[in-house]
Amino acid sequence: MNIKLVLIGASASGKTSILYRIQHETFIETTTTLSISVVRKEIEYNNQKVYLQMWDTAGQERFDCITPTYYRSCQAIGITCSVDSYESLQKAHYWYNQIKQYADANVKLYLIVNKIDLVDNVQLTDAAVQGFASSHELLIFKTSALTGDGVNEFVEQVLYDCTKDENVVIEKSISLEQVKRGKCC
């Protein structure tokens, strides 16, 4: 199955670095203009092959200029902010509203709080993060693209949430087949 995952959020919050970490399991120093556009990673998950298709911006978020097609047909969106920038959490409100306007209504949404390695430069309070996340029912993932902390947990959750729905659909269609063949009950 295919899963389209999109990361969106303040410029320099670490989207490109997180996607690079997911793809290559390492960190490279990026610039905000560097983007990796679309990358695919094949993952074996619960005995099924999952193609994770990850979309990165080319820095257009700096100008609040993301076309609606960016969100089209995606199953999961990580709204990204970074612990060293209070402004990045304020920006998350803007991106949340954009998503509500353009993305599918049943898209899975997550809040990624990145750069947790910057322990001496924390601007985001837990209360502010929790407040934002709970008001929009977002699961929070605290990550560091630099150290890798929390990144796998985020990917695991995306895989779990997105394959769960697919499996329900498959199960439903199987039982429908059984009904048709008269094998049900």
Binding site for ligand GDP (CB under 6 A): 11-17, 29-30, 32, 114-115, 117-118, 144-146
Answer yes or no whether residue 114 interacts with Mg ion by CB under 5 A: no
Report, in Å, the least distance between residue 134 CB and ligand GDP: 24
Query: Judged by CB, which is closer to Mg ion: 16, or 144?
Result: 16
Angle 15-24/151-180 helices, nearest 10 degrees? 70
Burial of 92 from C-beta contacts in 10 A (0-12 / 13-18 / 19+): buried
Query: Judged by CB, which is closer to ligand GDP: 12, or 107?
Result: 12
Report, in Å, the least distance between residue 166 CB and Mg ion: 29
Determine the length of the chain.
Answer: 185
- Name which of Mg ion, ligand GDP, none residue 146 binds, using a CB cut-off of 5 to 8 Å depending on partner kind: ligand GDP
Answer yes or no whether residue 16 interacts with Mg ion by CB under 5 A: yes
Report, in Å, the least distance between residue 161 CB and ligand GDP: 23
Answer yes or no whether residue 17 interacts with Mg ion by CB under 5 A: no
Point out which span in 7-15, 46-54, 99-107, 157-165 binds Mg ion (CB under 5 A). 7-15
The answer for residues whose C-beta is within 8 angstroms of residue 91's C-beta and 6 or more apart is 9, 10, 81
Nearest-CB residue to ligand GDP? 14
Report, in Å, the least distance between residue 26 CB and ligand GDP: 12
Q: Which two tokens stand for residue 133?
A: 């996340």
Query: Judged by CB, which is closer to ligand GDP: 30, or 53?
Result: 30
Q: Please, are residues 4 and 53 in contact by the beta-carbon 8 Å criterion?
A: yes
Q: How many CB atoms lie within 10 A of CB 39?
A: 16
Q: Which two tokens stand for residue 108?
A: 């899975």
Q: Please, are residues 46 and 54 in contact by the beta-carbon 8 Å criterion?
A: no
Answer yes or no whether residue 85 interacts with Mg ion by CB under 5 A: no
Query: Judged by CB, which is closer to ligand GDP: 17, or 163?
Result: 17
Distance CA 96, CA 8 (A): 9
Q: Please, are residues 96 and 129 in contact by the beta-carbon 8 Å criterion?
A: no
Report, in Å, the least distance between residue 33 CB and Mg ion: 8
